[in-house]
Amino acid sequence: MDHNSTTPLNPLAYEEMIPFLKQDFGNPSSIHGFGRSARVKIDESREIITQTLGISPREFVFTSGGTESDNFAILGVALSRQDKGKHIITCQIEHPAVLNPCKALEGQGFKVDYLPVDSCGTLDLERLKGAIREDTILISIQHANSEIGTIHDIEKIGEIAKERGVLFHTDAVQSFGKLPLNLGALPVDLASVSAHKLCGPKGIGGLYIRRGTPPLFPLLNGGNQEFKRRGGTENVAGIAGFGKAVELTCSEMQKKVNYVSDLKKKLIQNVSKELGEFEFFGNSEKQLFNTINLGFKGVRGEDLLIALDIAGFAVSTGSACSSGSQLPSHVLSAIKVPPELVDSSIRISLGRDNTPEELDKFGVKLIELVKDMRGDC
């Protein structure tokens, strides 16, 4: 129940990877047969992924995952466009893969505005308009938030950016495979995606770079791979698994949405019935169908996580990347959850492999633990 952290590898995507870890181990840049068969698979995967996203194959660069894609977009634009300006706009609830390159740029003379969000995690678009300056070179706003599931209106944001001639990047890692994503039809210049959030392998992802976008400063300078935008011998097996995962996840998306939405509804009903006092974080109208973030007053989220783990259930508190660091979630702080509740939250993110029986058992255990920890059993 922690699918926003990562998902199980689809068995068919796994099958697709095996030949490229065994007999078809060639370097895709080699002219001989071994190389050619690897090249064919990369082209095939790129075709599947770009068709699904409504873009052309040359507009997509394979990377090592969402983190590299976010860094490539932000640092790549900043370093290639600094003569045009050194101002960047993002928001407070972005993933660390966006926030931290922005922070790094602040040390290099860039100015970054981290826009606040409301109590649902929604961005005020008038405020965004007001933040754009003469020297703004990039707006980076995520499509969907991993902790509270809030979905941002990337179409409206992109239109605002376009009107002012500013490049727009979106971190679409949490939305790809969960929401329809026709990037070609959206006013988006750059978009990050990652395979392991949609039942593909870890360590592979991509960056969409709209045709006509001024060349980004490359993070990895090396050979001519990826249209000379990212050097390094390709992760062929990863790319093969990524393509297959996209095909499988996106072709059955609506079925999955309906199935998982029902699980989520049922869980919330059960918890509401049994526990009068709890908080629901996020925007229930514009929220990822699989994500639930709940706060239980008088209970430490971390204690709950550990007790659930012992009972065989995996959930998270905050983002996986900040778990263990003892820092309160920057997302919950940004949506102004009162301090006494920030540490009392858990995130449940469901997937297609969760069963109704599991959810029932989980609900019973969760309710029992919360009552127990509150001492009101």
Q: Catalytic amino acids? A: 321
Among 10, 194, 290, 354, contact with ligand PLP (rule: CB under 6 A): 194
Q: CB neighbours (10 Å) of residue 50?
A: 20
CB of 196 to ligand PLP, least distance (A): 6
Start-end of H helices in the chain: 11-21, 33-53, 66-81, 96-106, 125-131, 154-163, 225-228, 236-251, 253-274, 301-310, 330-334, 339-342, 356-374
Surface-to-core class of residue 374, CB atoms within 10 Å of its CB (0-12 exposed, 13-18 middle, 19+ buried): middle
| Part in contact with ligand PLP (CB under 6 A); list of ranges 149-157, 169-177, 236-244, 329-337 | 169-177
Distance set, CA 316 to CA 40, 130, 320, 343 (Å): 39, 36, 7, 12
| Site of tokens 């409301």 | 118
β-sheet bridge partners, residue 167: 138
| Part in contact with ligand PLP (CB under 6 A); list of ranges 114-122, 128-136, 167-175, 232-240 | 167-175
Applying CB under 6 A, does 347 fall inside the site for ligand PLP? no
| Site of tokens 């001519």 | 224
Distance between CA atoms of residues 133 and 64, nearest Å: 33
Applying CB under 6 A, does 95 fall inside the site for ligand PLP? yes
Applying CB under 6 A, does 171 fall inside the site for ligand PLP? yes
Among 139, 173, 186, 267, contact with ligand PLP (rule: CB under 6 A): 173
Contact 345, 351 (CB under 8 A): no
| Part in contact with ligand PLP (CB under 6 A); list of ranges 109-117, 192-200, 283-291, 349-357 | 192-200
Distance set, CA 223 to CA 31, 42, 234, 259, 265 (Å): 15, 16, 11, 45, 50
- The 274-313 site mask, x for binding ligand PLP (CB under 6 A), equals ----------------------------------------
**8-state DSSP, 325:** T
Applying CB under 6 A, does 174 fall inside the site for ligand PLP? yes
Q: Of 44-73, which residues contact ligand PLP (CB under 6 A)?
A: 65-67, 70
Q: Of 1-40, which residues contact ligand PLP (CB under 6 A)?
A: none
| Nearest to ligand PLP of 66, 363 (CB atom) | 66
CB of 172 to ligand PLP, least distance (A): 8
| Nearest to ligand PLP of 271, 288 (CB atom) | 288
Among 97, 138, 271, 346, contact with ligand PLP (rule: CB under 6 A): 97
Applying CB under 6 A, does 234 fall inside the site for ligand PLP? no
Distance between CA atoms of residues 190 and 156, nearest Å: 15
* Residues touching ligand PLP, count (CB under 6 A): 15
CB of 202 to ligand PLP, least distance (A): 7
